[in-house]
Amino acid sequence: MSTRILRSLTRAGLVTSVLCGSLATGVMPAAAVQASSGGGPAPVVGLAAERVLLADKVAAAKFGTSTPVEDPVREQQVLDQAAALAAEAGIDVSDTVEFVGQLAATEDLRSSTTRCAISLVLAESAIDHRYGLDRLHERALWGAVTPLCA
């Protein structure tokens, strides 16, 4: 994989973290925050893995309620917002949208393989899982990804 692609994916991961945080809290940041520590794509991959695990819990908490587990309209909003954030930050838009789309596809795959286990988690745990997602997004924004312009 070329350095350009790795840098673009790392930036896409930061945009994804900013985007996911804004969707979870309903607040868009004024500008993308340059975080420090770590290096390369490893922090982004780790955060993506954590997000997939938390997404399962969120889906499980929605199971048995009137809230849809899958929401194609919301997923398109996420992709559109990722594209807008990438363009604003000067990051390759297509790489960012592809990265965010892969996260969604991974969540869909994992969700489909664990549907039987979903009913074991109580719906009232949704608040706890939302809190976990919020903390994950804060970590992504405030220290998990090395600035690429430094």
**Is 149 part of any domain?**
no
pLDDT digits (tens, 9 = 90+) for 28-42: 343 333 443 456 777
Number of structural domains (the chain) is 1
pTM: 0.43
Per-residue pLDDT at 145: 54
Interatomic CA distance for residues 90 and 84, integer angstroms = 10
**Is 63 part of any domain?**
yes
Per-residue pLDDT at 77: 86
**Is 138 part of any domain?**
yes
The phi, psi pair for 64, rounded to 5°, reads 85, 5
**Is 42 part of any domain?**
yes
CATH assignment at residue 68: 1.20.59
| Sequence-separated (6 or more) residues with CB below 8 Å from residue 82 | 12, 15, 16, 19, 96, 97, 99, 100
pLDDT digits (tens, 9 = 90+) for 53-87: 887 777 777 777 777 767 788 788 888 888 888 88
Domain of 13, in residue numbers: 3-144
**Is 150 part of any domain?**
no
Q: Kindly state the tokens that stand for 127.
A: 């608040």
